A = this chain, B = another copy of it.
Amino acid sequence: MQDIARKVGVSPMTVSRALRDGTSVNTQTREAIRQAVEELGYVFDSTAANLRQQRTGFVAVTIPSINNANFADTVRGLSDGLKVHGLQPLLGYTDYDIDQEEALVEQLLRRRPEAIVVTGGQHTPRCRRLLESAGIPVVEIWDLPGQPVGHVVGFSNAAAAGMLIDHLVSTGRTRIAFIGGEAGRDSRGADRRAGFIAAMQRHGLDATRLIAAGVPPVSMLEGAAATRALLQQAPDTDAVLCVSDLVAFGALTECQRLGIAVPDQMAIAGFGNYEVAEICVPPLTTVNPFPEQIGRQTAATLLSLLGLSADNLPQNSKISPELLVRASTLS
């Protein structure tokens, strides 16, 4: 700024003013400064401004995996909602591991974000403490934690799984299996599994057809392998609920390879409303958790909490996932 000030013949303070909107600077002076900026190739140093203003414009965001269309949609909704107000997401991923989450949260907080968004409601004790004492808005998403740290934009994964089981049972299926990741890591997956068990018991059905398909994120190939295992262990299974549409699609392809008719011999349901579930043949019954809406709503919540928006939103927004019944479960 000093270089520009010298060049234009003003003080650095005037340059600082000219570079911001809503400040009173002589129009010609401002224009001259704009020009000098271009000529000198000056790029504003926001690290210095951040320190002085004690505002970084960062919103820290942790997601389990960057390579997941559901979370990517959430990040997009969040990003787009924040961008208008000059806020920028500072993204990190945890690999579905709460110890990595702790390390990540600590690292992110050092950057002095103005708010933090974490996926899930399960944290290490130290991570919880860090979040609580950070002195910034905290939003937990994609879950409905029993003891939320701050605000919540999410839904019950267990209840959503229950919806799918209710549907399967209502269409006459009784020997229903669940394919998911190994317990303990992906807490949303674990909740869906718990929701499966609870719903099955509610219907008086056997809830022991549980297949662990590997370490989260469980994907299409593992879904196919798990389906093979399932059909060996329990060949009379007539329906399978998968922890995600990706796993469900893997199951569908395995059935196709094995000559098992879907939905006639086997009903398949997934979770997440991934694009593949809509377009595959037959299309997969699933639940839409509205990932992008989670992001947008989180952005709205944050803007309200940060006093950047007039709307006074309800700061805990429950998302209502939608059951999408498609041909994969309709015989």
Contacts and interface: CB of A to CB of B under 8 A. Distances in A.
Nearest to A86: B107
Chain A interface size, under 10 / 10 to 19 / 20 to 34 / 35 or more: 35 or more
Copies in the complex: 2
Interface string A242-254: 0000100110010
Interface stretch (A153-161, A203-211, A274-282): A274-282
Interface string A87-117: 0101111000000000000110111100000
Interface in A223-258: 224, 246, 249-250, 253, 256-257
A87 to B, nearest CB: 11
A257 B281 contact: yes
A91 to B, nearest CB: 5
A51 interface: yes
Contact of A134 (B43, B220, B256): B43
Given A72-B66, A219-B275, A249-B279, A46 B111 contact: yes
Contacts of A220: 275-276, 278-279
Contact of A279 (B44, B56, B221): B221
Nearest to A92: B88
A224 B279 contact: yes
A257 to B, nearest CB: 6
Contacts of A88: 92, 107
Contact of A130 (B43, B46, B79): B43
Contacts of A112: 45-47
Interface in A124-150: 129-130, 133-134
Contacts of A134: 43
Contact of A221 (B66, B90, B275): B275
A76 interface: yes
Interface of A: 41, 43-48, 50-51, 56, 66-67, 69, 72-73, 75-76, 79, 88, 90-93, 106-107, 109-112, 129-130, 133-134, 219-221, 224, 246, 249-250, 253, 256-257, 275-276, 278-281
Which 5 residue pairs spanning A and B have beta carbons closest together?
A67-B72, A46-B110, A41-B133, A256-B281, A220-B279
16 contacts: A41-B133, A43-B106, A43-B110, A48-B51, A51-B51, A66-B66, A67-B69, A88-B92, A88-B107, A91-B91, A219-B275, A220-B278, A220-B279, A249-B276, A276-B276, A280-B280
